[in-house]
Structure 1
Amino acid sequence: MNSPDYDDSTAFLGDWGPFQRNLFILLCFSIIPNGFTGLSMVFMGDTPAHRCRIPAALNITDEWRNASIPLDEESGFSKCSRHRVDIVRNYSERGLLPWVDVNVSDIPRETCKDGWVYDNETYISTIVTEWDLVCSDDWRVPLTTSLFFSGVLTGSVISGQISDRFGRKIVLFITMGIQTVFTFIQVFSPSWLIFCILFFIAGMGQISNYLTAFALGMEIFSPSVRDIYSTLGVCLFFSIGYMMLPLAAYFLRDWRTLLLVLTIPGFFCMPLWWFIPESPRWLLSQGRVDEAEEILRKAAKMNRVKAPEVIFPRHQSKDSAGSLKTYSLCDLVKSTNIRCITVLLCLVW
């Protein structure tokens, strides 16, 4: 993938012309939706205050209805149990008063057989209130997040290999489409299981989009711009997505509406296909010299500089393409130095 003379051959473009500025901005904007998806579960999966539902049709007095939820010393009203409603109803029908005629704490408890009542002060709905992911099912909320990041892990492993095979640009926009479309389909999830499957796939697209945009910019920009792009560029715009998420969640308290709005930037990014070029460095590595030179000549025209008659000597390009060395995950532990770097990066992430 690396051509030793590539930076020298493309030096005529300069470091920061209109071509580089436009591409820098467009690639950074394509990363903003990744920040939305990465932390959306903070709001979609939040658990509001809740207690067992006492059926409205249950014929008991208001005093007994209020006393039906046990009091726990640490958490206040119990979230996962209630006093047995058949006993409560019997006491109510006999005209006995809670704590006056009956010691309520002695009444046996039962699970929330009629579901839960949730506090709507902060949220209209979350996936927790939608599918009752509380009490014995509260493990499903962290599992949902874990499944998303399992998709992120999967996308991290395969996206680089796929973009090496098929190109940066096509993988960037396919994974951008996967993230956007599957997040949109999530809005209509009929069950928690379907939501998790779609979330896993969205996670694959989310990280693949990010990594491919990162690689594309690093291969096109000059060495001086790469440092800015890899730090201030992608990281700042990823953070902008993070920062816009709580703002959207503040005004949109229903998880389906919030998720729907978060897909909009992704759809706006799709037309960037006509403005973001393929990586000339990748094209050169594939022996597609004419296509690489065409992109660079258009870039030179945008920067108002003259491109040389021959940018890449044909014999050099063919030799480079024919002698390409391929790498695999095993290379991450091949030498002592790379093993240390791999372990450190795993710990950091």
Structure 2
Amino acid sequence: MTDYEAATAFLGEWGSFQQQVFFLLCLSTVPNGFTGLSIVFLADTPPHWCVVPAHVNLTAAWRNNSIPLEEDNHSGDLLPSKCHRYKLVDIQSFSERGLLPGVDVNLSNVPKEGCLDGWEYDRSVYISTIVSEWDLVCDDRWKNPLTSSLFFFGVLTGSFISGQLSDRYGRKIVLFVTMAVQTVSTFIQVFSPSWPVFCAVFFVVGVGQISNYVAAFVLGTEILGPRVRIVYSTAGVSLFFGMGYMLLPLFAFFIRDWRMLLLGLTLPGFLYAPLWWYVPESPRWLLSQGRVAEAEAIVRNAAKRNKIEPPQVIFSPLQKELQSDRKKTHNICDLLRSRNIRWISITLWLVWNILTIAYFALSLNTANLYGNAYFNCFLSALVEMPAYTLSWLMFRWCSRRLTLFSTLFMGGLFLLLIQLIPANLISLAITLEMMGKFAVTTAFAIVYAYTAELYPTVLRNTAVGACSMASRIGSIIAPYFIYLRSYSISLPYILMGSLTVLSGLLSLLLPESYGMPLPDTITHMQPFPGCCRKTPYTLTQTTEEEKVAERKSPAVL
């Protein structure tokens, strides 16, 4: 057992203090669920066609036939063109001469032109989206996936800076500052006058969104005991994130205007300010910074909350000295400094990257599935709930490495099978996609907790943030996987399935952390198989620091 866990074992696992920390930190992740995926409705593309100005003198027959029919890439049916109309000068001439479309004039011979007067949009589902407000269609349709990618660029930036800030200045302050950044910037986004401004503010939302999630994740991981930590890091934060995701289609169903929808999603964020007085800083982090008195004060307050009498000496003098020695400042470069930690980091970055592509591509694709967009989004969120529960069960009793491999491999296999389903079996194809989403979501919950277990306290927030940062390359390009549907419906599933299977195989290279204590220093980390011959730091072994402490200090840790 590590020094900190031994010293605080008297607190127990599930007292009032731990319950408060568990539920408040889980509650703080709810806004991440609807903020991170709100673009599904904010930027959905409603049916649209070219405007035919009312002042153009056309008969009813010609006005009804002014939009050419084109074959739909998905269904193969003939549908009105989204980006072209017949040349108005020509059809006005035919109309004035009394000619009938398809009878006197062969429409295939009539020249076409673009939507020179703009577009009309079907308002039966949405009052407005950013697509209909700023005409992000046809020649400008590339702006739609770019909107999501810019958000994920913000997530990448937040992952890069928040981990290091959190390891340097504390988990709690970064958590609340970035929650404020996310809430305020989302509120500002409501008043965006143009698409570039919307994207610029969306970038800032992304910075805050990932930063507060990672900070809350690591804070709970470090405060809670081993058993509760497993529940928190797999099912806890993930289930509350899923609750936020499930709320998104409910909000969107009742609020069909994108500005009002954003406003509705913003308001809950302002309710989290009072949590500052109820969520403590991580005592484990305070010890790593040499701030022993503050750490003891939090632990004694926790004992009071749990109605437990703390020992007179919580952290022995020698242990304080050891913790003070760990105060050395670490940064993201330490993730690549030694051979062992370098191979662990690179492998995790690749696994996170591919996993993120699959998760966000499947989440963003719900608007493109057949049927009701709100129901499909709710279904996509609903399948995550049992997935998070399964991740906790597997993480509690199974090998970390084999658990991650099995969920990734099965997720990729389900996605590869979709292309084999006949076009008329739409429900079966959607079922396979949801099963793939289920497996990928389970793996996503597991990889967060697995990563936190592999890295030491002095680098944990930086490491989780760096993995999240590396994975943002995947989230940035995930919208373009969906964009590939315009060329081939099967292509995104083939790419996602193949990459996900590959990431499952890569995960087998990682060291096992099941049954191992949470490492405090880099020397406590498990060795990368085939890379380092260092003896693992296990539950049954004693480090040199602990041997010295046992010889020189009679105090109970």
* Superposition TM-score tier, normalisation by shorter sequence: over 0.9
Q: Distance in 1 between matches of 2:20 and 2:332?
A: 34
Identify which of structures 1 and 2 has the higher relative contact order when contacts are C-alpha pairs closer than 8 Å and 6+ apart. Answer: 1
1:254 deviates by: 1.2
Q: Does 1:146 align with 2:153?
A: no
Letter in 2 for 1:94: R
Q: Distance in 2 between matches of 1:270 and 1:314?
A: 37
SS at 1:263 equivalent: helix
Q: Distance in 2 between matches of 1:291 and 1:149?
A: 36
Q: Does 1:49 align with 2:52?
A: no
Query: Residue 352 of structure 2 aligns with which residue?
Result: 345
**For structure 1, which runs of at least 5 residues remain unmatched after alignment?**
none
Q: Distance in 2 between matches of 1:46 and 1:69?
A: 23
Confirm or deny: 8 A CA contact 2:170 2:281 kept in the other structure.
Answer: yes
Most deviating of 247-256 and 222-231? 247-256
1:60 deviates by: 1.9
1:315 deviates by: 5.5
Match 2:79 to one of 76, 100, 103: 76
Q: Distance in 2 between matches of 1:159 and 1:137?
A: 34
Most deviating of 4-13 and 217-226? 4-13
Letter in 2 for 1:316: Q
Query: Residue 157 of structure 1 aligns with which residue?
Result: 160
Q: Does 1:103 align with 2:106?
A: yes
1:279 deviates by: 1.1
Q: Does 1:284 align with 2:287?
A: yes
Give the direction of change, closer, same or farther, for the CA distance of 1:120–1:110 in structure 2 (3 Å limit): same
What's the TM-score once normalised by structure 1's chain length?
0.94
Most deviating of 294-303 and 172-181? 294-303
**For structure 2, which runs of at least 5 residues remain unmatched after alignment?**
73-77, 357-557
SS at 1:117 equivalent: strand
Over aligned residue pairs, what C-alpha RMSD do you find?
A: 1.8
Structure with the greater alpha carbon radius of gyration: 1
Number of residues of Structure 1 aligned to a counterpart in Structure 2: 347
Query: Residue 319 of structure 2 aligns with which residue?
Result: 316
1:217 deviates by: 0.5
Give the direction of change, closer, same or farther, for the CA distance of 1:211–1:67 in structure 2 (3 Å limit): same
Letter in 1 for 2:122: D
Q: Does 1:335 align with 2:311?
A: no
Confirm or deny: 8 A CA contact 1:19 1:302 kept in the other structure.
Answer: yes
Deviations 1:177-207 (A, max 9, x none): 1111111111111111111111111111111
1:314 deviates by: 4.9
Letter in 1 for 2:339: S
Match 1:219 to one of 222, 247, 271: 222
1:312 deviates by: 2.2
Most deviating of 288-297 and 269-278? 288-297
Letter in 2 for 1:335: R
What's the TM-score once normalised by structure 2's chain length?
0.60
Deviations 1:67-121 (A, max 9, x none): 2111123451111011111222222233333223322332211110111011111
1:325 deviates by: 4.3
1:61 deviates by: 1.9
Most deviating of 85-94 and 167-176? 85-94
SS at 1:69 equivalent: coil
Query: Residue 177 of structure 2 aligns with which residue?
Result: 174
Q: Distance in 2 between matches of 1:69 and 1:342?
A: 49
Query: Residue 232 of structure 1 aligns with which residue?
Result: 235
Confirm or deny: 8 A CA contact 2:288 2:326 kept in the other structure.
Answer: no
Q: Distance in 1 between matches of 2:71 and 2:38?
A: 33
1:276 deviates by: 0.6
Letter in 2 for 1:186: Q
Match 1:39 to one of 37, 40, 43: 37
Confirm or deny: 8 A CA contact 2:3 2:319 kept in the other structure.
Answer: no
